[in-house]
Amino acid sequence: MKKVLLTIAAVAFAFAANAQFILGGDLGFNRSSSYLVDDGDKYASTFTPTDFGFSISPRLGYQFTEKIQAGLMLGYDYTLSVTKTSTTDPTELRSTDRDWTNMFGVGVYGRYNCFAMGKFTVFGQLNLGIGFGNNKTKTTFENGAPDVKNDVSKTFAFYGEIVPGINYALNENISFDIYLNFIALNYSMIKVSDPNIDMALVNHDWNLGANIDGISIDGLTNAITIGFNWHFACHKAE
């Protein structure tokens, strides 16, 4: 029995000693602001909304064969919306409203390389994952009145998607992925529950084929995602 275990351990070590791993991920960032003035009343009210967000999705994969790759994914997404309200009406308070969301995710992926053309490789990728997070709000008044804080909702999500992409190999250690999200097949289930009341909203969404909105300039960041990969091998010491 001991010999069998030693043999299995030796085979596993030899397999890992020459393993081809891929450490990669996606990083996103967005910021927008606008300026609105409501001068329909006697006193003008000014609203200045600003949106900010970023996301990071690291992953670790293993290249089983020239065609097949699989691995684990993590994800974090943060969004913040800030609206400042000012008015010339002395009876109204100037305030700042903050609305932010934190989302965490974990999942697995599998990739199949369809064909290669020089440094470019066309692939199809299956992603499966779950996510959870929360949404909170806070209102701050300039006159020193107490802040108003609320836990608005909690979110649980499950998603699965098949997305095509193109990999560009800069060299043997560095490559870039371009995911064509606007022609992906995907399914998502999102459950949003309100901690203040006994109620939850569950939404199921299927999407197949090209997303026309995603092809527009405004939706380009959602239609195409760029990822970075570092390829490295664990070599057995001499």
Dist CA 43 CA 20 (whole Å):
67
In a domain, 32, yes or no: yes
In a domain, 6, yes or no: no
Q: Decide if 90 contacts 51 (C-beta within 8 A).
A: no
Q: Is residue 174 part of a domain?
A: yes
Number of structural domains, the chain? 1
Bigger pLDDT: 141 or 46?
Answer: 141
In a domain, 5, yes or no: no
Look at 61 and 197; give whichever has higher pLDDT.
61
- Token duo for residue 172: 């043997």
Is 122 within the bounds of a domain?
yes
pLDDT of 108-141, one tens digit each?
Answer: 999 999 999 999 999 999 999 999 998 888 888 8
Cα–Cα distance for residue pair 194/237, rounded to 1 Å: 56
Residue 146's domain comprises 23-232
Answer whether residue 11 is part of any domain. no
Query: Per-residue pLDDT for 22 more than 90?
Result: yes
**Could you count the other beta carbons within 10 Å of the beta carbon of residue 196?**
10
Residue 163 burial by Cβ neighbours in a 10 Å radius (0-12, 13-18, 19+): buried
Report yes or no on 139 lying in a domain. yes
Neighbouring-strand partners of residue 140? 96
- How confident is the model at residue 43, as a pLDDT? 57
Is residue 18 domain-resident?
Answer: no
